[in-house]
Amino acid sequence: MIRWLLRALLNANKKSMTSKICLLLMLFCLFGQNASSIMQRGEYPWNVKLRSHYDLEMENTLQTVPWLLNLGPTGIRARIYPEKANQLAVKYVFQDKQSPAKGLIQIGDIIVGANGKKFKTSHRFGRNLRGGGGWDGPMMELAAHLEDSQGSDGKLNLIVWPLGLKSDEKTVTIPLRVVGRFADTFPYNCKRSDMMLEELCDFIVTDYKSSNWKKPNSFYGGPHGVAHQMLALMASGKSKYDRIIKDNIKSYYNLRYNPAGGGFQTWRWGFEGIVMGEYYLLHKDRKLLPAIKSLTECMPLGSRNSNGIYTHRSELNLRLTGKKPYASIAAISGLQMIAMSLFDKAGLPYDKTLYQNIHQHYLNSATPDTAQIAYAFNSADRFNNPKITHRHAILKLKDKNKGGSSKGVGYLLPNGMQDIGEYEVFWPTKKDPRWKPLDWLEKERATNLVTQLKEKGTLRVDRNHPDYKQAPEPKKPYKTTRSGGHLAPVGMGALAHLIRSNSTDSWKYLGMHLANTCAIAPGNSFDGHASSHLAGFWSILGAAQSNDAKLKRAYLDYMKTFIILSETHNGGLILQPWGRDRPNCNSDCSHGPRPLTTATGAIVLALAKKRLQVTGAGTSGYVSNSAPKRGLDSLRRKARPLPDERRALLDKGLLKALAELSHADELKPKPISLSKARSKVWLAKVEGDTKLTFQATVGDKQAAFDFTDLTPKDHAALAQLVASYRPEDEMALVSAGIYSEVIGNTKRADAYYLKAGSDVKEKIDKLFE
Spans of all domains in the chain: 2-32, 53-175, 191-381+473-615, 385-462, 640-767
Cβ atoms of 81 and 65 within 8 Å: the answer is no
Residue 602: CB atoms within 10 A of its CB come to 28
* Pairwise CA distance, residues 527 & 540, whole Å: 12
| Average pLDDT of the segment spanning 345-363 | 97
Cβ atoms of 769 and 646 within 8 Å: the answer is no
DSSP-derived secondary structure letter, 649: H
Is 191-381+473-615 CATH 1.50.10.10? yes
pLDDT of residue 679: 83
Q: 1.10.10, 2.60.40, 2.30.42, 2.40.160: which CATH number matches 53-175?
A: 2.30.42
> What SS3 state is found at 692?
strand
pLDDT exceeds cutoff 80 at 16: no
pLDDT greater at residue 585 or residue 420: 420
pLDDT exceeds cutoff 90 at 132: no
pLDDT of residue 758: 65
pLDDT of residue 24: 45
3-state SS string over 573-586? ECCCCCCCCCCCCC
| Average pLDDT of the segment spanning 723-733 | 88
pLDDT greater at residue 587 or residue 65: 65
Share of the chain above pLDDT 90, in %: 68
* Pairwise CA distance, residues 179 & 46, whole Å: 31
Angle between helices 191-209 and 595-605 (to 10 degrees): 150
Residue 690: CB atoms within 10 A of its CB come to 17
Q: 496: number of CA atoms within 13 Å, CB side?
A: 32
| Average pLDDT of the segment spanning 532-554 | 96
pLDDT of residue 582: 65
- Mode of pairing for the β-strands spanning 155-161 and 170-175: antiparallel
Share of the chain above pLDDT 70, in %: 90
* Pairwise CA distance, residues 627 & 192, whole Å: 24
Cβ atoms of 680 and 673 within 8 Å: the answer is yes
How far is the CA of 380 from the CAs of 354, 384, 480, in angstroms?
17, 7, 20
User: Residue 89 region, left (φ>0) first, then alpha (ψ -120 to 50), else beta?
Assistant: beta
pLDDT exceeds cutoff 80 at 682: yes
Who's near 439: CB < 8 A, 6+ residues apart?
none
Cis peptide before 45 (omega within 30 of 0): yes
Alpha helices in 172-241 (DSSP H): 191-209, 223-236
Alpha helices in 478-577 (DSSP H): 488-498, 505-519, 532-543, 549-566
pLDDT exceeds cutoff 90 at 717: yes
Helix H or strand E encompassing 154: none
How far is the CA of 431 from the CAs of 269, 406, 426, in angstroms?
39, 34, 12
pLDDT band at 148 (very low <50, low <70, confident <90, very high): very high
| Average pLDDT of the segment spanning 722-732 | 88
pLDDT exceeds cutoff 80 at 9: no
Helix H or strand E encompassing 661: helix 644-663
| Average pLDDT of the segment spanning 13-26 | 44
pLDDT exceeds cutoff 90 at 29: no
pLDDT greater at residue 698 or residue 236: 236
Angle between helices 265-283 and 223-236 (to 10 degrees): 10
- Give the highest mean pLDDT range of 18-32, 136-150, 650-664: 136-150
| Average pLDDT of the segment spanning 437-458 | 94
* Pairwise CA distance, residues 675 & 442, whole Å: 40
Length of the chain: 769
